[in-house]
Structure 1
Amino acid sequence: MSEERGLFIYGIVPSDVEPTPDASGVGDPPGEVTVVRHGRVAALVGEVPLQGALGRPADLTAYQELLDGTATVAPVLPVRFGTVVTGPDAVVDLLDAHGDRFAAALDELEGQVQYVVHGRYDESALVQSVLDDNPSAADLADQVRGQPEEATRGQRIRLGEIISQAVELRRESENRELLDTLGPLTVAGVARPPSNELDAVNVAFLVDADREDEFVDAVEDFAEQRRGLVLMRLLGPLAPYDFVNAHQLAG
C-alpha cells in the first residue's frame, strides 16, 4: 500500500519566484521544494507523508532557512510551521481565495527584511549593578554572604525577588529605549516576550534593505554602550515572522 502524501506549505511569494536548485525542505530525507502558482502569487511547497510527524529541530531549521534565504531576494509571507494540505488543488484554492490580500502584502514587503535584536544580561554584572543601585538589596546580600542557606532562606528569597523585579523593570526600559533609538531607521518594531529570565532586550524590526548598514551601525552603538553588562546578538536578515504571515491575511 502506497504512503499517502501531502504538501507542506512554507510561504507565499510573488509568482515569478523560483526556488534555488539546492533548496531543501523538511522531512527525513529532506524533501524537494517546488512552487504552486496562481495569478500574481505562488506558494513554496514540498511533499511530505500525511501520516509523518514533523517537528524535529532539523525540520524547523529547514523551514526557517528556506524562508530566510527567500527573504533576501524576494518578499515572502511565512505560513505557520506545520501547515500541510492534501495536494496542489488545495494550495490553488488558498491562493485563489486570498490572492489579492497576499499580493498587496507582498507589495508592501518589497525590499524589506526582519532583524531581531536580542540581549542577555551577564548575571554577575547584573547582580552587582542591582546591589549598587538598591541599598536594601545590598544589605540583604551582606546578611546572606557566607551564611548557611537554611538559616538565611527568608533573606535569600527576598533578595531574589528584588533582583527579579529589577530585571523586569530594566527590560521594559531597555526595550523601550531600543525601539525609540532604532525606530527612525526602521519600518516597524515590536517587543517580543523574553526567552530567558535574564533577557535584557528582545525586539524584532522590519528594515528597508537600503537602510540595513545604517541600522546595523546603530545596533552596534547600542550594544557598545552596554558592554560588560549585556551580551547583544543581531539575528538576520530573516523572513518577516513577527510582522505578517499568510494565516493572518487568510483569517
Structure 2
Amino acid sequence: MSASASTPEQVEAPVEPGLYLYGLVMPDARVPDGLTGVSGGAVRTVSLGPVTALVSDVADMELIGLPDEVRAHGAVLDAVALSGCSVLPVQFGTTAPDVDALASGLPVPRLEAYSDRLRELAGVVQLSLTARYDEDAVIAELVDEEPEIRRLRDLTRGQPEAATYGERVRLGELVVAGFERKRAADADFLARRLAPLAVEVRHREVGQVDTVLDAALLVRRDAVRRLEDGLEDVAAGIFPRIALRLVGPQAPYDFAEEV
C-alpha cells in the first residue's frame, strides 16, 4: 500500500485594483472623448491643481506589462497629442491605489514645474524619423570604391565557408566599417536638412548597420506640413539608396522629462 502525499492548496495573490496613469495635461485641455487604454479601461481626467492627470481604472495593478498594454499606453498619449493638447507622458506601468494616493505622491512644486513644461510644449508635437539604407545599393558602392572589398568578395564567392573563413571575417569587417563611414556623412547631410524644419532634433542611438538616422523631431503644429514637404524633397533625392519613414504626430516622449 502506497501513501499519497497531500498537496497544499495554492494561495492566490491578492488582487489590487487601482488607477493607471498615462500622462499630464493642462487643466483646460480638451481631451478627446471615448479613449480606451490599458486593459480596455475608459480614460478619464483627475484634477491635480496646476495640472490634470489622464487615468483609467485597472482591476489588478500587478497585471501591467503585456505588449498590447504598452501599445495602449502610447495610443492614448498620441491621440491626446494629435487632438491638439500638449501632454507630458508618464512612464509606462505607473499606477496608484486611488486618487488620494496619486495626489499625495506629486508634491505641489513638482506639479507646478510640470505645468510650466506643458506651457513650453504648447503648440508643438513630436515626429519620429528613421532613415535606412538599401543594403545592396551601399554594398555595390563599397565594391566599386574599395579594391580590397572587391578582391575579398571575388575570392570568397562560391567557395566553402570553412575554407575562406578568415577572408569572410575580414570582408565583413571592411563592409561594416564602410557602412559606418558612409553613415557619418549621410547622417550629417540629413541633420543639416532637418535643422531649419524643426524646433529641436534629438538623435537616438543607431543599433542596426543599415540605419542611417533615428531621430525625434520637435515641430510646431502649424509647421508639420512644411516639414513633410521638405522631407519629400529630401527623399526624392536619396531614394532608393536611402528610404525615409516619418511617424507622428506623437506625444513629446523624447522632449519631456519623465514624470
TM-score by length of 2: 0.88
Q: What is residue 77 of structure 1 aligned with on the other side?
A: 88
1:215 and 1:56, CA in 2 relative to 1: closer, same or farther beyond 3 A? same
The question of whether the paired residues in 2 share the 8 Å contact of 1:85 and 1:91 is answered with yes
Q: What is residue 166 of structure 1 aligned with on the other side?
A: 178
For residue 167 of structure 1, report the CA deviation from its aligned partner: 1.9
Q: Aligned runs of 1:98-137 on 2, under 5 Å?
A: 98-137=110-149
1:95 and 1:22, CA in 2 relative to 1: closer, same or farther beyond 3 A? farther
Match 2:41 to one of 24, 31, 52: 31
Q: What is residue 204 of structure 1 aligned with on the other side?
A: 216
Q: Aligned runs of 1:124-203 on 2, under 5 Å?
A: 124-203=136-215
Say whether residues 1:46 and 2:56 are aligned partners. Answer: yes
Gaps spanning 5+ residues in structure 1: where? Answer: none
Q: Aligned runs of 1:5-24 on 2, under 5 Å?
A: 5-24=17-36
Matches of 1:6 and 1:174, distance apart in 2: 49
The question of whether the paired residues in 2 share the 8 Å contact of 1:175 and 1:202 is answered with no
Letter in 1 for 2:78: D
Moved more, 233-242 or 143-152: 143-152
For residue 95 of structure 1, report the CA deviation from its aligned partner: 6.0
Letter in 1 for 2:97: T
Letter in 1 for 2:199: V
Gaps spanning 5+ residues in structure 2: where? Answer: 1-11
1:15 and 1:51, CA in 2 relative to 1: closer, same or farther beyond 3 A? closer
Letter in 2 for 1:44: L
Match 1:61 to one of 29, 49, 71: 71
Matches of 1:193 and 1:185, distance apart in 2: 21
Q: Secondary structure of 2:240's partner?
A: coil
For residue 90 of structure 1, report the CA deviation from its aligned partner: 2.5
Q: What is residue 86 of structure 1 aligned with on the other side?
A: 97
Matches of 1:130 and 1:188, distance apart in 2: 33
Matches of 2:97 and 2:208, distance apart in 1: 38
The question of whether the paired residues in 1 share the 8 Å contact of 2:32 and 2:80 is answered with no
The question of whether the paired residues in 2 share the 8 Å contact of 1:175 and 1:191 is answered with no
Question: What's the Cα RMSD here?
Answer: 1.8
Letter in 1 for 2:48: H
For residue 226 of structure 1, report the CA deviation from its aligned partner: 1.6
Count matched residues: 245
For residue 18 of structure 1, report the CA deviation from its aligned partner: 4.5
The question of whether the paired residues in 2 share the 8 Å contact of 1:117 and 1:235 is answered with yes
Q: Secondary structure of 1:225's partner?
A: helix
The question of whether the paired residues in 2 share the 8 Å contact of 1:10 and 1:45 is answered with yes
TM-score by length of 1: 0.91
Q: Secondary structure of 1:177's partner?
A: helix
Q: Secondary structure of 1:68's partner?
A: helix
The question of whether the paired residues in 2 share the 8 Å contact of 1:7 and 1:45 is answered with yes
1:4 and 1:125, CA in 2 relative to 1: closer, same or farther beyond 3 A? same
Matches of 1:191 and 1:166, distance apart in 2: 21
Q: Secondary structure of 1:244's partner?
A: coil
Give per-residue Cα distances to partners, 1:198-249, cap 9 Å, x unaligned. Answer: 21211111000111111111111222222121222111111111111343xx
For residue 4 of structure 1, report the CA deviation from its aligned partner: 1.8
Calculate percent identity across the aligned residue pairs. Answer: 36
Letter in 1 for 2:90: V
Match 2:249 to one of 230, 237, 241: 237
Q: Secondary structure of 2:213's partner?
A: strand
